Chains A and B, each alone.
Chain A
Amino acid sequence: MFDDLNDLYQQVILDHSKSPRNYSELPGANRTAQGHNPLCGDHVTLFLNVEGDQVKEISWQGSGCAISRASASILTTALKGKSVAEVKTLFDRVHDMVTTGKSNGDLGKLAVFAGVHKFPARVKCAILPWYAALAAVEGKAEPVSTESEE
């Protein structure tokens, strides 16, 4: 059933969307960032504890579709322990992957989002938490919106 959709909704994505990881506020977070997609109402808040150049702890809260929830959940597992520069590099690679389907190097678990590129209307769902992460490590206070991109 729905073979054509399995690229988009991989088991890992369905799993993370139903049981999101690191789903809580982060007491003592020194960076927070909000992402909002005004087209569908999806919103995500990321809480980070950045020490020196490193993401020590990260968590999230929000609501949205399966893709955006899974993207936020997997993002938190991928960014813990990363340096600010690594976060920016990962953002670029994830952005390329969800828009073109091709990934530059091994993206590990993040590779499950490669199928999103076949669904142009859903690219924003996957990338929303990443914009928030970028804003967080860059220390931007303004909420980011999927609609500022264009």
Chain B
Amino acid sequence: MQHTAQSIKGIAGDFPILDQKVNGHPLIYFDNAATTQKPGQVVEALRRYYEHDNANVHRGIHELSNRATRAFENARTRAAAFINARSAEEIVFTRGTTEGINLVANSWGAKFIKAGDKILLTEMEHHSNIVPWQLLAQRTGAQLAFLPVNGDRGLLDLTRLSDSLTPDVKLLAMTHISNTLGTINPVADFCEHARKRGIVTLIDAAQSAGHRPLDVQEIGCDFLVFSGHKMCGPTGIGVLYGRGELLEQMPPYQGGGEMILSCDFYETTYKKPPHKFEAGTPDISGAIGLQAAMNYLDEIGRNNIAHHDQELGAYAFEKLSSMKGIRLFGPTIGRAGLVSFLLNGVHAHDVVTVADQRGIALRGGHHCNQPLMRKLGVESTARASFYFYNTTAEIDRFVEVLREIQKFFGA
């Protein structure tokens, strides 16, 4: 099998940050699951907004406010198209994935989850898709349950789902792609099983939104959340998709300006969704930057990105598998563009420190997956996560450095 994946064509010069030396070596940025780099097009959109159109949105009469409002709402329409939502009213802007999940837990959860209800999660969830539900369970007396992960290969057993979807389950919240294992979950299948039983579903798309085409109608979920900064957009902006019918029934999340129709001293009537859930001045430039990121990704083509991811993921997995003294996590085939691993006798943080001295940015630790780490019987792993600007040549260099690390620590 010959691998020749270069970074995707036509992006040269879009990421000046990647063209630098770190600790005397050309930067190899393999920490994309934490955050991706931003192309010039996104930075330029932010600059243009602040230099030409900056004003507060909604309620404004003047020209700049009209422009800012239009740009902000255009970004909402763009986000709806990006995930094939039925309408822009199903798009709530948030600070990111974490806030999206907290919004659903606090608003939908507070109204619809009662004592004795069950919230079904999986063992591969990020802390952000565990802790908000723990808080909700503590407040309401609901129970949490977890679909098991099947050992180091990191797969969920779909055949066990039916047994887990008992009548007391009211919500299934799960990740699309595991940030630690690289597992791509067949979320449409999970949602179909849940929907047949009237169970509400939430999909954490933090690791998938910038990496593959997403269609909320095809997935059939009720909620879907993601962050802008993991898909070439700015930090501080994210999207909560909520099926219109559900958003309509939900109480406000936070109170403040922007979300009210009229406000009296003792009573307030709220705007319709999505504005009902966006109290205060929103991250206007963030939404505009996110729109630029979405445009950028679609110019490259999300299918092309997914293909490139899988090529790099498979290439890295194969290369690392051929090394001695390494433990690899996640599926052997059909993995996302990341690899988690441990070198025998070398702690993940030592791997990351030494790799950094060679200009390679990795991540080591529990990846906000402590319960999963305990299940795998490890305290941490080292992780290399890729994006469309990475290449197989960089992976070759990375493997070379890992071999040096093994020698250095006499492992």
Instruction: Write the residues of chain A forming the contact surface with B, with a CB cutoff of 8 angstroms.
Output: 1-2, 4-5, 8-9, 14, 18, 39-42, 63-67, 119, 121-122, 125
Contacts and interface: CB of A to CB of B under 8 A. Distances in A.
Contacts of A64: 347
A5 B373 contact: no
B408 interface: yes
A4 B408 contact: no
Contact of B379 (A8, A41, A67): A41
Contacts, number: 55
B266 interface: no
B407 interface: yes
B404 A2 contact: yes
Most buried by A among B345, B353, B379, B380: B353
B349 A4 contact: no
A66 B347 contact: yes
Contact of A2 (B345, B373, B408): B408
Among A18, A41, A119, the most chain B Cβ lie within 10 Å of the Cβ of A41
Given A14-B410, A66-B347, 15 more contacts: A2-B354, A2-B408, A5-B408, A9-B409, A18-B345, A40-B349, A40-B364, A40-B365, A41-B366, A41-B370, A65-B347, A67-B349, A122-B349, A122-B353, A125-B349
Interface string B325-361: 0000000000000000000011111100110010000
A1 B408 contact: yes
A14 B354 CA distance: 13
29 contacts: A1-B404, A1-B407, A1-B408, A2-B408, A4-B23, A5-B357, A5-B408, A9-B350, A9-B354, A9-B408, A14-B409, A18-B345, A39-B365, A40-B348, A40-B349, A40-B364, A40-B365, A40-B379, A41-B365, A41-B366, A41-B373, A42-B379, A65-B347, A65-B349, A66-B409, A67-B349, A119-B353, A122-B349, A122-B353
A67 B346 CA distance: 11
A40 B408 CA distance: 22
A63 B379 contact: yes
B340 to A, nearest CB: 15
Contacts of A125: 349
B195 to A, nearest CB: 38
Nearest to A14: B409
B353 A121 contact: yes
A23 to B, nearest CB: 15
